[in-house]
Structure 1
Amino acid sequence: MVPGVNDDFDSIDATILRSIDAQRVRRLRERLRRTAHPEVLEIFDHVLDLATGNSAVPELAARLDRTRRSLERRCVLLGIASPETLLSLARIYTVQRLAEWSGQPSGALAHALGFSAPSNYRQLVRTILGYPPSVIQRSGGSDRVAQVILKQLS
């Protein structure tokens, strides 16, 4: 992306959001690098890049030069969570770390990151992690979500 030349404001926003609190993301990637298969790292790097928007599995598959079905089968063979679960975990992780960094409520940030309503974010957190966002926040927030990600990918 070259600033000033055909700027795509969504791309600029996504780049800024990915760079906020980047040290925390680097630590997670480093921990994964020590424990996960290299192909898992490649998949998760793309998942993290897509976490600031409302992306779906077909977009992830296209980035990895695979079909949706091929990506789903590869995740099974690698023994990791489904692509949908990985995208959900990355979005939850992104909301949590931005909430911690900014001091803003997670529901408002989730809405800004593409969730149609804060209630959709709360429901996703309950579905994926088994607890509401308030419990996740009290039990470590983004660090807690990072532990779940490591468990799902290692």
Structure 2
Amino acid sequence: MSINESGKYVCVLTTEDDQKVRKDLFIYLRPVFHTNGSLRLKIEDEKHPFQITASSTKVLRGETAILRCPTIGYPTPSIIWYKGENKKLLELESSKRYEFRGNELIIQNVEDTDEEIYRCVAWNNFSISVNGTSSNERFTATLDQKLWNLYLG
């Protein structure tokens, strides 16, 4: 089975006496990062396989930068973007310069202060049942990418 096959399926069975029985089947998938190769992904610590580092992005000062968070999952993951290092993480909010479009962060008119680590945190929730006990769990995955501000002067 491929990670692209997660989602909701409907199974309709016809019994011997022509009764139709419909059941929903859910194939859940925690957030994972999936790319076509344009963004290289690396697991830095095998103990934390859902904390990923991506290849850096380079952009000219004054131009627009587009950072991608190539996550998939079921239910569809929510994404939060941060700027900075671990102890100085700042959650980004939509503004004139920062725009969120699907899984992308768009930074308008890149400045020197934009040269930083950007982190996307993708998360979703679903119920897990083990030995008859169910619990609603939150699953997360993080992706860090460095934005380099180039100046041709």
| Pair in the same fold by TM > 0.5 | no
TM-score (norm 2): 0.23
Structure ranking higher in helix proportion: 1
> Which of the two has higher C-alpha Rg?
2
With normalisation by structure 1, the TM-score equals 0.23
Q: Which has the higher strand share?
A: 2
